[in-house]
């Protein structure tokens, strides 16, 4: 249900009490016997709130010790790059992390001058280091991404630079919970003063090498030549200093909106549910930037750790993430001369089928995977996946010469790519997508939620295709049923049903008592609604 406060600024009395939050980080102790207070790595690491005892000092100490042990076990003897975003819990969590790393004899690079560091810059640093070094470097990003201000998060990136796969995170999660259960007795730790003055902790310039290399993945000269008037909104996140450097280095006509960190994020308009959430794909969270759309040739935003992108144009307003992914893919595989014909296009199974239709017109093979950017890491790293993108506005792609850039989502190259597309084609992103609709049909896409118990969610997650007894969906013959992704054969943790002109996917939520229904129709909005209703009937029959 849409909150009456959606797209408005939060009342001051509802803003997070930062002092109380940080006090809770240090003082509140999680109970290992309560599942919600244990370490749990989802698709983007461990997340929680100190106020709810799900992201506290004990969690960070335990996870860091587990990472140090894993790093030594795998003989990753290179430096550990650590980045943090602007959530209030990120700074104290970095202090905790540094104390454990130094005690374990792990060499660490943290950002110089205590700057904030976006997720893609950590991935970039890892990959650049590992090009020539004998010892493998890896990284940690302390961020809950676009989550509310009271949340904290912790991600581990192995030497391939991308988010760790479940075979890695499950080991770290299990060991961290063992450490918690043993009252942190296995944690090696020194004081912050001893850690920061030790030989193990060094400052590192994450920003300059990344900014200077941008010309290898985005046509910065085309952007300069077009003299576009641009607005960049870091949403008070970790990309603030990066955009300042980009503006200076490339001499762009770019205004930076909200160029400061505010731990309450009081400048954010509330999301659909009345919560502060730095979701650059939400029209409610992006309401302030949308008001400025006619003042610029292009406006864009990133979430707090800058792995997601939000694109705003005069004609299109906030461009739907699926629409922009389709345009970006079309542009890259049409205009990048060194993108060889064998390069594949990666998409998640709940991304729009417009991508499939665009790729077919380009003669490109689609590589469809389950939800989660980790499924694109190998392809980007090895250079056979030219692009990998998620419906939730996260993507990365190869450099102009076909080599790897980042293996984690990079919201900043995606925002700058939008500027390149406008500069080179002379068209608004919305106009390019409108051409797709004329050629390939109009897409009607939506995600809704439906209630589900814990047992029902487990059932949905472990379904077999034989469980589907019907042969029709919304009046059309079912062409395929998937419980494993078509591209890599990995379990999707749910179900996808495909017809000629539509599809639906049902996946259980990892944190709420709901399951998510993603659906798309190329016939009509009414057909989309019918797909959604029949999908719920099918699911309820499975639960019966």
Quote the tokens at residue 53: 């005892």
Question: Is residue 510 scored above 90 in pLDDT?
Answer: no
* Lowest mean per-residue pLDDT among 30-34, 274-278, 540-544: 540-544
Query: What is the end-to-end Cα distance of the chain in Å, rounded?
Result: 27
Say whether 145 is catalytic.
yes
CB proximity list for 79: less than 8 A, separation 6 or greater: 107, 108, 109, 129, 135, 137, 202
**pLDDT band, very low/low/confident/very high, at 318 (cuts 50, 70, 90):** very high
Report the distance separating Cα 418 and Cα 411, nearest Å. 11
Q: Please state whether the predicted TM-score (pTM) of the whole model is above 0.85.
A: yes
- Collapsed DSSP state (helix, strand, coil) of residue 5: coil
Strands 45-49 and 41-42: antiparallel
Check residue 543 and give its pLDDT: 86
DSSP 420-451: HHHHHH-S-HHHHHHHHHHHH---EEEEEEEE
Catalytic residue among 145, 281, 352, 443: 145
Closest CA relative to residue 335, chosen from 397, 398, 421: 421
DSSP category for residue 165: P
368 touches 487 (CB < 8 A): yes
CATH code of the domain occupying 210-440: 3.40.120.10
Question: Is residue 72 scored above 70 in pLDDT?
Answer: yes
Strands 230-233 and 108-111: unpaired
Residue 466: in which H helix or E strand, if any?
none
> Chain-wide mean pLDDT for the chain?
96
Strands 201-204 and 108-111: parallel
Question: Is residue 511 scored above 70 in pLDDT?
Answer: no
Same fold flag, 210-440 and 444-543: no
Share of the chain above pLDDT 70, in %: 100
Check residue 1 and give its pLDDT: 76
Burial 149-176 (b: 16+ CB within 10 A, else e): bbbbbbbbbbbbbbbbeeebbebbbebb
Report the distance separating Cα 461 and Cα 508, nearest Å. 7
140 touches 154 (CB < 8 A): yes
Domain spanning 18-205: CATH 3.40.50.2000: no
Report the distance separating Cα 76 and Cα 265, nearest Å. 37
Residues listed for the chain: 544
286 — alpha (psi -120 to 50), left (phi > 0) or beta? alpha
Architecture of the domain defined by 444-543 = 2-Layer Sandwich (3.30)
85 touches 143 (CB < 8 A): yes
Q: Beta partners for 9? A: 269
What tens digit of pLDDT does each residue of 322-369 get?
Answer: 999 999 999 999 999 999 999 999 999 999 999 999 999 999 999 999
Report the distance separating Cα 137 and Cα 128, nearest Å. 10
Task: Determine the average pLDDT of the residues in 113-131.
Answer: 97
Residue ranges of the domains in the chain? 18-205, 210-440, 444-543
> Would you tell me how many other CB atoms lie within 10 Å of the CB of residue 526?
11
Backbone angles phi, psi at 108, to 5 degrees: -125, 140
Strands 151-157 and 45-49: antiparallel
Residue 220: in which H helix or E strand, if any?
helix 220-226
Q: The dihedral of CA 121, 122, 124, 129: what is its sign?
A: positive
Tokens 């984690």 locate to: 408
Check residue 422 and give its pLDDT: 98
């Amino acid at each position: 249900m849409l909150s009456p406060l959606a797209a408005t600024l939060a009342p001051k009395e509802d803003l997070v009490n930062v002092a109380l939050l940080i006090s809770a980080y240090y003082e509140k102790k999680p109970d290992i016997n309560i599942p919600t207070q244990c370490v749990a790595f989802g698709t983007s690491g461990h997340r929680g709130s100190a106020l709810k005892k799900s992201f506290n000092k004990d969690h960070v100490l335990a996870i860091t010790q587990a990472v140090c042990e894993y790093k030594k076990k795998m003989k990753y003897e290179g430096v550990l790059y650590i980045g943090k975003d602007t959530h209030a819990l990120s700074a104290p969590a970095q202090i905790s992390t540094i104390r454990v790393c130094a005690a374990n004899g792990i060499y660490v690079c943290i950002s110089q001058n205590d700057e904030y560091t976006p997720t893609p810059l950590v991935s970039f640093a890892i990959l650049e280091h590992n090009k020539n070094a004998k010892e493998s470097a890896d990284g940690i990003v302390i961020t809950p991404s676009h989550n509310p201000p009271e949340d904290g998060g912790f991600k581990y990136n192995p030497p391939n630079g991308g988010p760790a796969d479940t075979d890695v995170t499950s080991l770290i999660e299990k060991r961290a919970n063992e450490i918690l259960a043993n009252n942190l007795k296995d944690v090696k730790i020194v004081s912050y003063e001893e850690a920061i003055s030790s030989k193990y902790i060094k400052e590192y310039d994450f920003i300059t090498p990344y900014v200077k290399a941008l010309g290898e993945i985005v046509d910065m000269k085309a952007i300069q030549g077009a003299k576009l008037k641009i607005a960049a909104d870091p949403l008070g996140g970790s990309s603030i200093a990066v955009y300042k450097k980009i503006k200076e280095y490339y001499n762009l006509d770019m205004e930076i909106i909200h160029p400061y960190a505010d731990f309450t994020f009081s400048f954010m308009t509330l999301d659909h549910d009345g919560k502060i959430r730095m979701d650059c794909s939400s029209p409610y969270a992006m309401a302030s930037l949308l008001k400025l759309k006619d003042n610029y040739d292009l406006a864009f935003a990133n979430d707090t750790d800058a792995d997601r992108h939000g694109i705003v144009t005069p004609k299109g307003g906030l461009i739907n993430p699926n629409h922009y992914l389709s345009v970006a893919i079309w542009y890259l595989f049409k205009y990048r001369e060194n993108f060889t014909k064998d390069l594949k296009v990666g998409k998640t199974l709940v991304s729009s089928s417009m991508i499939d239709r665009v790729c077919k017109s380009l003669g490109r093979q689609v590589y469809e995977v389950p939800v989660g950017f980790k499924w694109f890491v190998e392809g980007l790293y090895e250079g056979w996946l030219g692009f990998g993108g998620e419906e939730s506005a996260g993507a990365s792609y190869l450099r102009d010469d076909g080599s790897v850039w980042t293996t984690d989502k990079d919201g900043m190259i995606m925002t700058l790519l939008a500027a390149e597309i406008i500069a080179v084609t002379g068209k608004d992103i919305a106009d390019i997508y409108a051409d797709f609709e004329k050629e390939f049909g109009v897409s009607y896409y939506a995600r809704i939620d439906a209630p589900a118990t814990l047992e029902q969610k487990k059932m949905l997650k472990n379904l077999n295709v034989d469980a589907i007894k019907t042969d029709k969906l919304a009046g059309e013959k079912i062409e395929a049923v998937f419980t494993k992704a078509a591209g890599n054969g990995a379990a999707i943790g749910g179900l996808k049903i495909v017809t000629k002109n539509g599809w639906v996917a049902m996946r259980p939520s990892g944190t709420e008592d709901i399951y998510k229904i993603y659906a798309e129709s190329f016939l009509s909005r009414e057909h989309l609604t019918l797909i959604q209703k029949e999908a719920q009937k099918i699911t309820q029959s499975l639960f019966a």
